Amino acid sequence: MEKGNFHRHRRLRRSESMRSLVRETYLHKEDLIYPIFAVEEENVKREIPSMPGVYHYSLDHLNEEIREVVELGIQSVMMFGVPNHKDAIGSEAYCDTGIVQRAIKQIKAEFPDLTVIADTCLCQYTDHGHCGVIEDGYVQNDQSLELLTQTAITQAKAGADIIAPSNMMDGFVSAIRQGLDEAGFVDVPVMSYAVKFSSAFYGPFRDAAHSTPQFGDRKTYQMDPANRLEAIREAESDIAEGADFLMVKPALAYLDIIRELKDRFPLPMVAYNVSGEYSMIKAASQNGWLNEQEVVLEKLTSMKRAGADLIITYFAKDAARWLDQ
């Protein structure tokens, strides 16, 4: 122990250069994945009211947005689709001419080096807003797997670089992996939403994707926020079924889960910084209650420190600009 009987930790914080020298965690633009919503209309760039700064794009405006993303140095986007037509079995999700399939084809034709990740789910495409087939008021697990597998195959055919199933049906990674392999897409990886909690932080996304459940909730397939051990079991299952990435969603309220999975499993870890986390900061900053730039970079760094290798975030474009400063 030093003179005075205490350690002088402040020695390593005396200047910005000293703090930079001993910094343990860095956030890079390459870590960021930007979510984009494509709609089946024309001449649309429409701001989502509950997510200021996030827009719906029709295909005729999509390339403008992608070009800006690429010029900012972001290397990956995640595509979500908002179809005009919905039905009980989400048929537009696995249609070769669905909105996400067309968006992926268009992006890859113009920006072949950009990594395009396809969200693979049914809730935006079903008229009941659930992530699978409904019978007797209950989401049927195995019937839903067949439709999810068809969706993944059509997305891979369209050119998706990564398939990201988000529906939380049991066996979804196994079914999709088998379907992709049999269709000749053995080199297309699966980014599993392995640990997706049933969360109130998804509210603004449901406005954006028009995917609010028309009855009940998603608690039979999404996880109880109170459960840590169940998260480990979910991740173990997905790894055994062939997942190439593991994701935790939401991120900010579940940093302990990210750390736990990172310490246990060797796969790349993805954190989804969800819509509610985005909208809270946007609302507070617009009211002058928070410094948006400082809070966002602090928050994203906390996800990296917890163990995330990649972060899906609606702040990706802003963060990329701030990291350049």
Catalytic residue among 105, 196, 299, 304: 196
Phi, psi of 99 (to 5 degrees): -65, -40
DSSP characters for 16-46? HHHHHHT------GGGEEEEEEEESSSS-EE
Measured CA to CA in angstroms, residue 202 lies from 91, 157, 210, 280, 283 at distances of 24, 29, 12, 12, 16
CA 134 to CA 143: how far, in whole Å? 9
DSSP characters for 218-282? STTTSBPTT-SHHHHHHHHHHHHHT-SEEEEESSGGGHHHHHHHHHH--S-EEEEE-HHHHHHHH
Phi, psi of 297 (to 5 degrees): -65, -35
| Helix and strand totals (H; E) in the chain | 11, 12
CA 106 to CA 98: how far, in whole Å? 12
Q: Verify whether residue 249 is a known catalytic residue.
A: yes
Phi, psi of 126 (to 5 degrees): -95, 145
The residue type at 165: P
The residue type at 235: A
User: Left, alpha or beta for 306 (phi > 0: left; psi -120 to 50: alpha)?
Assistant: alpha
Catalytic residue among 29, 105, 157, 249: 249
Q: Which H or E run includes 283?
A: helix 275-286
Angle between helices 141-158 and 99-110 (to 10 degrees): 30
The residues assigned a catalytic role are 196, 249
